[in-house]
């Protein structure tokens, strides 16, 4: 058995190797820096079918193991080769309710594609791009998505936060027949997908159509509902809800506590991106929210958030955008694709440097950032080499705007207003990882609020686990 399988693999490998991995065409760098439209255009039908034909349909597909929600990858890809695009999208949706989002923002190179067998000798199958293609195809070709008939359980669940974790819990539970209401603090649902990740990487109509789908399942959405203020978790439990899921994300910006950090023109990435995305400040003055534009913009940080901030600054008309990162390029946590796009767009990377203070002018506006040079030392807990200061290596950079993108802490609002809810020393809610149960009866949690900043698909994975365990819990009640 085993031997025969291996033979098949070897034969198909040869076929697959002859077809190169299909590339999406994309907006040229000099054009796209002047707009907020999405950068890659996605596959054509022909490209999609060709790329799908590269998949050798492994009997024991490693790729599925690499996907946190276990998308049935060979099955959906096979449907693509048969041009059954709608069916392919439905196949993905059995396990992943946001394929158009994940196809775009999943770090596939670290997940499904990392372990694809073709990657051993050449390029892995472009699973993410195929996922994106079929999801887009379905959205563009189907007016109303069919909503499964469900038998109502008569029980209600409150979901706090409308990011990927909350949307997943809500969708899954509604499909089983629960009465679900999502409470969202902001005026628009979607979490980081709407306020953080920019339009040019994840168009907002895609997010809103995914949310419409969740609503079509019968999920109610209460925006402007700041839980901990408008209602507490206990209010929800004492009211109509049998259980509560907390998916409030890692929303509190970290600052560096450097002298001059409150000068005018210094933003947290959260503020900068929220102004640009959620409030559409790039359309000021048509939209009322202003944002700093032009000049030299420096961003500190090396993750996706730093790349998104820098690329937003380019599009807002900056003359020059610099990324300051305290380690070297190899250690950057941002997706390779994002770093590559940022480089193409003319963003300068300064490695092994860290800001130490800001110098402001008389009006309070930031004028310069003083930085210090770093070198890499021993390996630290994260397995990366620890950055160390090189004494007396300070230098200054003239800037007009500065963006701090060094990460987020959990927002403490709910933890502070929910007695008995156990948190760890960083303020993340403690749960049992195979159920999402918290220390409070009837209260579940998942996503960034539990793990700290992670990924969209991991938040969705946590949401799936919590939905299943909420169902089990409420069924036995």
Ligand X SMILES: Cc1cc2nc3c(=O)[nH]c(=O)nc-3n(C[C@H](O)[C@H](O)[C@H](O)COP(=O)(O)OP(=O)(O)OC[C@H]3O[C@@H](n4cnc5c(N)ncnc54)[C@H](O)[C@@H]3O)c2cc1C
Q: Which stretch binds ligand X (CB under 6 A): 90-98, 159-167, 253-261, 418-426?
A: 159-167
Angle between helical axes of 85-93 and 127-141 (0-180°, round to 10): 110
State yes or no: residue 301 binds ligand X (CB under 6 A). no
Place of tokens 């439990």: 237
Closest CA to 202 of 278, 126, 143, 137: 278
**Residues in region 446-475 near ligand X by CB under 6 A:** 447-449, 453-457, 459
CA distances from 350 to 139, 327, 333, 384, 388 (A): 41, 9, 15, 18, 16
Q: Which of 42, 61, 103, 164 binds ligand X (CB under 6 A)?
A: 164
Q: Which does 71 bind (CB under 5 to 8 A by kind): ligand SF4, ligand X, other proteins, none?
A: ligand SF4
247 binding ligand X? (CB under 6 A) = yes
Give the count of residues interacting with ligand X (CB under 6 A).
43
For 389, residues 6+ apart whose C-beta sits below 8 A from its C-beta are: 354, 372, 373, 374
Residue 145 or 289 having the CB closest to other proteins: 289
Q: Which of 194, 254, 196 is nearest to 410 (CA)?
A: 254
* Residue among 297 and 305 whose Cβ is closer to ligand X: 305
Distance separating alpha carbons of residues 360 and 307, to the nearest angstrom:
25
Eight-state DSSP code of residue 58: -
Coil, strand, or helix at residue 242? coil
Closer to ligand X at the Cβ: 124 or 371? 124
Q: Which member of 42, 68, 124, 191 binds ligand X (CB under 6 A)?
A: 191
Backbone angles phi, psi at 255, to 5 degrees: -110, 175
Measured in degrees and rounded to the nearest 5, phi and psi for residue 403 equal: -125, 125
Report the C-alpha gap between 429 and 240 in whole angstroms.
23
Angle made by CA atoms 225, 230, 236, in degrees to the nearest 5: 85
How many Cβ atoms from other residues are within 10 Å of residue 447's Cβ?
32
Q: Which does 274 bind (CB under 5 to 8 A by kind): other proteins, ligand X, ligand SF4, none?
A: other proteins
268 lies in the site for ligand X, by CB under 6 A: no
Q: Cβ of residue 90: shortest distance to other proteins, in angstroms?
A: 33
Residue among 56 and 244 whose Cβ is closer to ligand X: 244
Nearest approach in angstroms of CB 401 to other proteins is 10
Q: Where along the sequence are the contacts to other proteins (CB under 8 A)?
A: 185-187, 223-226, 229-231, 251-253, 255, 257, 261-265, 267-268, 270-271, 274-275, 279, 284-290, 292-295, 317, 363-365, 400, 411-413
Chosen from ligand X, ligand SF4, other proteins, none, partner binding at 174 (C-beta under 5 to 8 Å by type): none
**Short-list 110, 312, 88, 69, CA closest to 197:** 312
190 phi and psi angles, rounded to 5 deg: 130, -15
**290 Cβ partners below 8 Å, 6+ apart?**
275, 281, 284
Per CB under 6 A, the segment of 2-10, 173-181, 183-191, 207-215 that binds ligand X is: 183-191
Smallest distance, ligand X to C-beta of residue 223, A: 9
**Nearest-10 Cα torsion for 197, 316, 288, 254:** 50
Cβ proximity to ligand SF4, 10 vs 264, nearer residue: 10
- Pick one of 40, 166, 302, 355: the residue that binds ligand X (CB under 6 A): 166
Question: From the list other proteins, ligand X, ligand SF4, none, which binds 127 (C-beta under 5 to 8 Å, kind-based)?
Answer: ligand SF4
Minimum separation from the CB atom of position 250 to ligand SF4 (A): 20
Residue 51 or 308 having the CB closest to other proteins: 308
d(CA 254, CA 277): 20
Q: Which stretch binds ligand X (CB under 6 A): 11-19, 108-116, 406-414, 420-428?
A: 406-414
The strand pair at 408-409 and 252-253 is best described as antiparallel
- Give me the residues that bind ligand X (CB under 6 A), please: 105-107, 160-166, 183-186, 191-192, 196-197, 225-228, 247-249, 251, 273, 304-305, 308, 335, 411, 413-414, 447-449, 453-457, 459
């Amino acid at each position: 058995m085993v031997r025969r399988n291996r033979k098949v693999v070897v034969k198909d490998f040869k076929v697959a190797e002859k077809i190169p991995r299909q590339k999406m065409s994309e907006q040229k760098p000099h054009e796209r820096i002047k707009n907020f439209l999405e950068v890659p255009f996605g596959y054509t039908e022909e490209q999609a079918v060709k790329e799908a034909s590269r998949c050798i349909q492994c009997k024991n597909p490693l790729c599925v193991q690499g996907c946190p929600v276990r998308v049935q990858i060979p099955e959906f890809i096979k449907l693509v080769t048969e041009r059954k695009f709608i069916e392919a999208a439905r196949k993905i949706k059995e396990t992943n309710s946001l394929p158009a989002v994940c196809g775009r923002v999943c770090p596939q190179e670290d997940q499904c594609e990392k372990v694809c067998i073709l990657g051993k000798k050449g390029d892995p199958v472009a699973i993410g791009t195929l996922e994106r293609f079929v999801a887009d195809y379905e959205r563009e070709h189907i007016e109303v998505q069919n909503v499964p008939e469900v038998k109502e359980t008569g029980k209600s669940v409150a979901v706090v936060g409308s990011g990927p974790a909350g949307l997943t819990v809500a969708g899954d539970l509604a499909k089983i027949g629960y009465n679900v209401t999502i409470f969202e603090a902001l005026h628009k649902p979607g979490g980081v997908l709407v306020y953080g990740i920019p339009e040019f990487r994840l168009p907002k109509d895609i997010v809103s159509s995914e949310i419409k789908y969740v609503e079509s399942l019968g999920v109610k959405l209460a925006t402007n509902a700041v839980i901990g203020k408008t209602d507490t978790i206990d209010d929800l439990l004492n009211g109509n809800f049998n259980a509560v899921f907390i998916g409030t994300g890692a929303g509190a910006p970290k600052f560096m506590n450097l002298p001059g950090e409150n000068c005018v023109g210094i933003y947290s990435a959260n503020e900068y991106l929220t102004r640009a995305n959620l409030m559409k400040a790039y359309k000021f003055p048509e939209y009322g929210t202003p944002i700093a534009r032009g000049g030299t913009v420096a961003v500190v940080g090396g993750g996706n958030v730093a790349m998104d901030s820098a690329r937003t600054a380019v599009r807002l008309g900056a003359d020059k955008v610099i990324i300051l990162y305290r380690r070297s390029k190899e250690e950057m946590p941002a997706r390779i694709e994002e770093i590559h796009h940022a480089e193409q767009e003319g963003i300068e990377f300064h490695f092994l440097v860290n800001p130490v203070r800001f110098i402001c002018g008389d009006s309070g506006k930031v004028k310069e950032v003083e930085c210090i040079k770093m070198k890499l030392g021993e390996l630290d807990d994260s397995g990366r080499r620890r950055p160390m200061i090189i004494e007396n290596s300070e230098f200054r950079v003239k800037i007009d705007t500065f963006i701090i993108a060094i990460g987020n802490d959990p927002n403490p609002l709910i933890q502070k207003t929910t007695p008995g809810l156990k948190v760890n020393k960083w303020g993340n809610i403690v749960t049992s990882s195979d159920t999402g149960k918290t220390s409070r009866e009837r209260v579940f949690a998942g996503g960034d609020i539990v793990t700290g900043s992670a990924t969209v698909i991991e938040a969705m994975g946590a949401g799936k686990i919590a939905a299943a365990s909420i169902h089990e819990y409420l069924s036995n009640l």
